[in-house]
């Protein structure tokens, strides 16, 4: 699961702003909970389009996922054991 790579305390300023010291992304979606904690989820706005074939591929896959149907496990060793030593 996710691991903590930075931890620090912050104080909001006079304009209710909090500075993020190690933010990787330019945009975040904020969720504010009634117990006071706030979660930030990275958002990427660039390249906001898809191949129609990719969309069709995902439509089919999601209809099957909804019915509990998936394919086999993707074992990375199947590829890395063959291609692992090649230069990229």
Partner 1 sequence: MPKFTVVAGVPEMEAEWKRLVDGLKAGRLSRSERVRAKKFAHAIAHLEENPFHQGLQSHEIDALSRRYGQKVFESYLENNTPRAGRIFWVYGPRRNYITVIGMEPHPRDSARGYARVALSNLPELERGREKKG
Q: How many CA atoms lie within 13 A of 39 on its CB side?
A: 5
How far is residue 65 CA from its own chain's centroid? 19
Question: What tokens were used for 63?
Answer: 């209809």
- Using CB under 8 A, list all residues that contact partner 1: 1-3, 5, 24-25, 29, 41-44, 46-55, 57-66, 68-80, 82-84, 86, 88
Instruction: For partner 1, give the closer residue by CB, 36 or 84.
Output: 84
> Any idea what the Cα angle at residue 45 is, between residues 58 and 65, rounded to 5°?
20
Instruction: For partner 1, give the closer residue by CB, 18 or 61.
Output: 61
Shortest Å distance, C-beta 77 to partner 1 = 8
Shortest Å distance, C-beta 36 to partner 1 = 23
């Amino acid at each position: 699961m996710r691991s903590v790579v930075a931890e620090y305390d912050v104080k909001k300023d006079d304009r209710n702003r909090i500075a993020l010291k190690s933010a990787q992304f330019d945009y975040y979606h904020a969720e504010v909970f009634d117990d006071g904690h706030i979660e930030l989820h990275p958002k990427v706005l660039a390249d906001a389009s898809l191949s129609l074939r990719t969309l069709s591929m995902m439509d089919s896959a999601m209809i099957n996922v909804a019915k509990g149907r998936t394919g086999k496990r993707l074992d990375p060793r199947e590829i890395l054991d063959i291609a692992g030593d090649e230069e990229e």
